[in-house]
Structure 1
Amino acid sequence: MEPTRKPERGPTAGGWPTYAATAAAVTVTATIGSKAVKANSVWYQSLSKPPWQPPPWTFGLVWTPLYASIAWAGGRALLRARGRRRRALATSLGVNLMLNAAWNQLFFALRSTKAGLVGTALLDISNADLIRRTTAIDTASASALVPYAAWCTFATALNADIAYRNS
């Protein structure tokens, strides 16, 4: 009879607290950001928008899986990182989530297409940094962040067009 072996503890074994923390951080980001969105406001409705802007319902449809991928990728990468790399990655993720929520405040709450453009450009830079740091730790996690970065790049182009049309 073979002796019972303990299961190996890989980087994700017992990692639910890390995944819970990244999911909570992403949920807070989404909540703060969504509270500022006033797509039905007179101000927003009066803005000239490009014909290629997606219909309003697509934003929720797109952001839900993107937020899930950020939570998963962040948790997975943090579980694999150690020491300074882990702290730097956690900081990069935290800054990224703050910039993510800030865009809605800059654009909708301040009613400023130009402030929104600055915010989304900073988010694009932050996405590049987050993906760079994540790639050095875990390529699967980094790959999961690419659609998020691509959508944010699209959002930057949309914001730039709206700012241009309304300046």
Structure 2
Amino acid sequence: MIEVSAAPLDRDLQRRILVALAELYPAAMALPDLSPQFRAEPLFVRNLMYLSGHGLVVASAVRKSPASMPEILRAEITPRGLDFLADDGGLTAILGVVTVKLHDDTIRQIMLDAVDAAEAPDGIKEKLRAAITDLPADGVKAAVPALLRQALDAAPEAIRLIGKSLGL
């Protein structure tokens, strides 16, 4: 039986486990195949169960007693584990894309809040507020890419100012 210590998790060992299982995919690694490769690894069971807990592998294990470490019978990598190893994140990255939709009224309100917060004469602010309020949805939609580009261009200066104010 493999001895497990209370040492921290081992990222290198986790990667080696995943790679070994990926090489067998779609087959699983059974106990006779598993033990020789990782026999000298005292943290093997701990790291395999950790990977299993995150859904990167499926490990079949038995416990001889409630207080004992599980004995691994079989392990296989999951599609999520394969994607984790992939440089591009695999299908998980493609399928996990989150689309954020902002209603034109939400964008309009953000623009109005920015006008209110700006340092400008009240007369100019009122004209801007009126123009934004009267802007049709297509106009709001057309303004978003330019506003986003402007915000991203200003990001380095904003980061510098934040750092300066924090004494960094």
Which has the larger strand fraction? 2
TM-score (norm 2): 0.20
Provide the TM-score with structure 1 as the length reference: 0.21
RCO higher in 1 or 2 (8 Å CA, sep ≥ 6)? 1
Larger radius of gyration: 2
Structure (1 or 2) with the greater helix fraction: 1
